[in-house]
A and B are shown apart, each in its own frame.
Chain A
Amino acid sequence: MIVRVGPYSVRLAPRALLVGLALVLVACAVTVAALSTGEFTVPVPDIVTALFGQGTPVAELIVSKLRAPRVVTGLLVGAAFGLSGAIFQSLTRNPLGSPDFIGFTAGASTGGIMAVVAGGSAATIAGGAMAGCVITAALVYGLAFRGGVQGYRLVLVGIGANALLLAVNSYLLTRANVNDAATAGAWLTGSLSGRGWDHAIPVALALAVLVPVCLRLARPMRMIEMGDDAAKAMGIRVEPVRAAAIAAGVLLSGVATAAAGPVVFVALAAPQLARRLTRSPGVTMGASALMGAVLLTGADLAAQRLLAPTQLPVGVLTAAVGGTYLALLLRKDRH
């Protein structure tokens, strides 16, 4: 489907638009459910009044202060993970090329644990995670660089870094005192509980800057999926595009990890699920972000409600998502 206005033209895929719309609706439904249900049920109409400060004080406290920040953080973090996964799967040309496996998430964890051990506040832990992620990415990129970064080399060097950092993480955990180890352990499973607006805002800012960057990079990245030579022949400066894409992907997964801890497998599963729904060739950025948001908030809602009153960490649920996803890859890709 092509929309032309004067000299301008935009290509739109109707199916992708429909899927996007459907995902937005699902996200809205999950949001409403998360705002309304729980130990204290707030009827749906009251949510709106509470959000606009017209409701009862109790409803207002629960909806605006407790539940809304958590849901919004979940939506934003999920979108960031989804986008980041889309970037790395496109760069590595592999449906398993997720930041979870190539060291970035592990690096963020290392930074976070170090901050916990150093007795940091929530803000320091977030900063530590961000720093850990960026430093790891810089090292992996540097080590994988040999007159350009080939996707496969990025994956392999990243896997090595991942193994090293996982070992460092368990070393830090066994060295830490009991309280720190417990705090770090809880943070490491990834959780959205107790997230406030101060967690959501940095992610929102990062998305505001990086989403346009990603959309700009989407077209050249699609060309790079056909091979470096083919992309260069089309006039794409492959290495700068790739470096920019890696930077965007790392910042997204770093800022998301800083807010919610290393929630694994959202970045892995979201892009491919989105791709299969839209039936588009290659990875789609927008749908991946929406899918990430839906997956994470959905998993968080399930984690809160499945075994209520016991609350599971959302990381446990996303691990199940990861397992299901691998099974799906096995089933679907076989010819």
Chain B
Amino acid sequence: MPDVRLSGTGLTLAYDQRVVATDLSVAIPDESFTVIIGPNACGKSTLLRALARMLKPKTGAVHLDGSVITSLPSKEVARRLGLLPQTSIVPDGITVADLVARGRYPHQRLMRQWSRADEAAVAEAMRSTDVAELADRIVDELSGGQRQRVWLAMALAQETPILLLDEPTTFLDISHQIEVLDLCADLHEAGRTMVAVLHDLNQACRYATHLIVMRAGKIVAEGDPTEIVTPDLVHEVFDLRCEIIPDPQSGTPLIVPESRRRVSPATA
């Protein structure tokens, strides 16, 4: 399959003894902006972690460019596939520039610690995430939104054609969420394959070119959001009655939840 670089087949995913998903197969279309979505604890982050080789599947395998991902040298994978993890730890007293520069690790060797290519990649990553003017600031002192952009810059500096993001918008306010997602869309447009786990169905519909909908460890639907997102699907997956109208901004599906009770304006 020339148009799929990253895929998983027959995956059984488990933490210790707790099985999250069985016989899961998934293919990430190349140069897509794929969004994985589903209710809490449906296994969406687990699937992403498996695709990023963070979690070893009990059965089945993840393939990258036709080879089993675990058979490839670790650094080699890191040059093709990047991950923005859900939680990372900021080392004490590190500056923005230093943290972003650490994204170049897979391209470096003991005797080639800082090539001109490294320099260019870091500068570009900081420019596109708009953190260049923060370069000398201590990461600890930044706001949540700024910090998330710095982590994203680090993942970008890795210069991988595929980038996985595990809930990149958590803990961000709405304007920073849109900012990060717009940035992802830009990166997608520039030719990268983006895969993100998101919580907000409307955001997923607006940004995804390919949507994977999960429930209880199974993929319920996948495809173009405009084609697959229906009131029935939302009810099946989230147990929520809703109307779907076109998003006035983008024309993508916009979910309007039904409430158990009649909602009337606050003052009549």
A and B held together in a complex: yes
Could you list which residues of chain A lie within 8 angstroms of chain B, going by C-beta atoms?
2, 4, 7-11, 93, 146-147, 216, 219, 222-223, 225-230, 232-237, 279-282
- Residues from chain A with a CB closer than 8 A to the CB of B78 are 233-235
Given known A-B contacts A230-B85, A233-B83, A235-B76, A223 and B102 have beta carbons under 8 A apart: yes
Residues of B within 8 A of A146 (CB): 16
Query: What is the interface residue range for chain B against chain A?
Result: 35 or more
Check if B158 sits within 8 Å of A234, measured CB to CB: yes
9 sample A-B contacts, Cβ–Cβ < 8 Å, listed by A number: A4-B114, A7-B112, A9-B112, A225-B89, A229-B86, A232-B83, A235-B106, A281-B92, A281-B93
- Quote the shortest CB–CB distance from B102 to chain A (angstroms): 6
Contacts between chains A and B (CB distance < 8 A), count: 96
Q: Is B74 a contact partner of A235 (Cβ separation < 8 A)?
A: yes
CB contacts (< 8 Å) of A229 on chain B: these are 49, 52, 54, 83, 85-88
Residues of A within 8 A of B85 (CB): 227, 229-230, 233
Selected from B49, B103, B115, the residue in CB contact (under 8 A) with A9 is: B115
Chain B residues with CB below 8 A from A222, complex form: 91, 102
User: Across the interface, do B112 and A227 meet the contact criterion of CB distance under 8 Å?
Assistant: no
A10's contact among B53, B77, B94, B111, by CB below 8 Å, is which? B111
Which residues of B in the span 84-109 have a Cβ within 8 Å of any Cβ on A?
Answer: 84-95, 98, 102-103, 105-106, 108
Residue in B53, B92, B103, B112 whose Cβ sees the most chain A Cβ within 10 Å = B92
Q: Which of B32-86 contact A (CB under 8 A)?
A: 49, 52-54, 73-79, 82-86
Instruction: Given A233-B78, A235-B74, verify A226-B105 contact (CB < 8 Å).
Output: no
Are A10 and B93 within 8 A (Cβ)?
Answer: no
B88 to chain A, nearest CB (A): 4
Residues on the A chain within 8 Å of B249, using CB: none
Residue ID in chain A nearest B72 by CB atoms = A235
Residues of B within 8 A of A8 (CB): 111-112
Within 8 A of A (CB), among B101-136: 102-103, 105-106, 108, 110-115
How far in angstroms is the closest Cβ of chain B from A210?
17
User: Which residues of B lie under 8 Å from residue A223 when comparing CB positions?
Assistant: 102, 105
Residue of B nearest to A279 (CB): B93
Which residues of the partner chain A approach B91 to less than 8 Å between Cβ atoms? 222, 225-226, 281-282
Closest residue on chain B to residue A333 by CB atoms: B92
> Quick check: is B155 within 8 A (CB to CB) of the other chain?
yes
Expressed in whole angstroms, the Cα–Cα distance for A146 and B16 within the complex equals 9
The 7 closest A-B pairs by CB, nearest first: A235-B78, A281-B94, A229-B85, A233-B83, A235-B75, A235-B106, A234-B105
* Of the residues B52, B89, B90, B114, contact of A233 by C-beta under 8 Å: B52
Given contacts A227-B88, A233-B82, A235-B76, contact A281 B114 (CB under 8 A): no
CA distance A147 to B18 in the complex (A): 14
Cα distance, A282 to B89, chains bound together (Å): 11
A237 close to B74 (CB less than 8 A): yes
Q: Which residues of A contact B98 (CB under 8 A)?
A: 281
B93 — which chain A residues lie within 8 A by C-beta? Answer: 279-281
- Measured CB to CB, the nearest residue on chain B to A90 is B91
Contact B88 A230 (CB under 8 A): yes
Give bound CA distance, A149 to B88, whole Å.
17
Question: Do B110 and A216 touch across chains, with their CB atoms under 8 A apart?
Answer: yes
A11 CA to B79 CA, complexed, in Å: 21
Q: Are B112 and A147 in contact, CB atoms less than 8 angstroms apart?
A: no
B83:A11 contact, CB within 8 angstroms: no
Complex interface: chain A residues within 8 A of B88 (CB): 226-227, 229-230
Contact A227 B113, CB 8 Å, known A233-B83, A234-B105, A235-B74 = no
Contact B95 A9 (CB under 8 A): no
- The residue from B89, B103, B114 contacting A93, defined by CB atoms under 8 A apart: B89
Complex formed: what's the CA distance from A223 to B101 in Å? 11
Q: Which residue of A lies closest to B87 (CB)?
A: A227
In-complex Cβ contact of A232 among B16, B53, B89 (8 A): B53
| A170 to B220 CA separation, bound complex (whole angstroms) | 63
Can you name the residue of chain A whose Cβ is closest to the Cβ of B95?
A281
Task: Evaluate contact between A219 and B105: CB separation under 8 angstroms.
Answer: yes
Considering the chains assembled together, what is the distance between the CA atoms of A9 and B98 in angstroms? 17
Q: Smallest distance from the beta carbon of B51 to chain A beta carbons, Å? A: 12
A9 with B16, Cβ < 8 A, contacts A226-B88, A234-B102 known: no
In angstroms, how far is the closest chain A Cβ from the Cβ of B47? 15
Shortest beta-carbon distance from B171 to chain A in Å:
16
Beyond the given A4-B114, A229-B86, please list 8 additional residue pairs across the A-B interface where CB-CB is below 8 A: A8-B112, A226-B89, A229-B49, A229-B87, A230-B89, A233-B155, A235-B76, A236-B74
| Complex Cα–Cα for A36 and B76 (A) | 56
* Nearest opposing residue in chain B for A220, CB measure: B105
If the complex has contacts A222-B91, A226-B90, A281-B94, are A234 and B53 also in contact, measured as CB distance less than 8 A?
A: no
